[in-house]
């Protein structure tokens, strides 16, 4: 039962990221109902996020965008997800 609660925690956090990205208009390389998500982000946003967060660049989509692999786990603190989303919002606001 503990295993399932740990998995639910990881999936809830991934859902939080997925929902906010989708609401702000980001596309995804693939739909993933798991704790791994693959949003397509502008390269300049990726460069800034990589200064504070670790994630994998999955593949270049075009000259200005790439799909990244974001993974949450049983050990991911909700504050880390909030911080990531806050920073992403800041970067979006800078381009408007």
Let me know: does 59 contact 29? Beta carbons within 8 Å.
yes
* CA 33 to centroid of chain Cα atoms: 13
| Alpha carbon distance 83, 10 (integer Å) | 16
Least confident of 2-6, 11-15, 52-56, 78-82: 2-6
Give the pTM: 0.90
Model confidence pLDDT, tens digit, residues 22-55: 999 999 999 998 999 999 999 999 999 999 999 9
Model confidence pLDDT, tens digit, residues 75-88: 999 999 999 999 99
What per-residue confidence (pLDDT) applies to 50?
97
For residue 60, what are the β-bridge partners?
66
pLDDT above 90 (res 4): no
Q: What is the overall mean pLDDT for the chain?
A: 93
CA distances from 64 to 12, 18, 28, 88 (A): 30, 21, 15, 17
Task: Name the one residue in this structure whose structure tokens are 């504050």.
Answer: 79
Task: Name the one residue in this structure whose structure tokens are 């408007």.
Answer: 96
């Amino acid at each position: 039962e503990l295993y399932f609660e740990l998995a639910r925690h990881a999936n809830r956090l991934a859902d939080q990221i997925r929902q906010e990205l989708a609401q702000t208009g980001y596309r995804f390389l693939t739909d993933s109902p798991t704790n791994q998500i693959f949003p397509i982000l502008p390269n300049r946003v990726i460069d800034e996020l990589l200064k504070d967060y670790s994630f994998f660049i999955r593949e270049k989509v075009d000259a200005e965008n790439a799909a990244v692999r974001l993974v949450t786990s049983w050990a991911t603190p909700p504050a880390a997800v909030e911080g990531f989303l806050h920073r992403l919002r800041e970067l979006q606001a800078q381009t408007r």
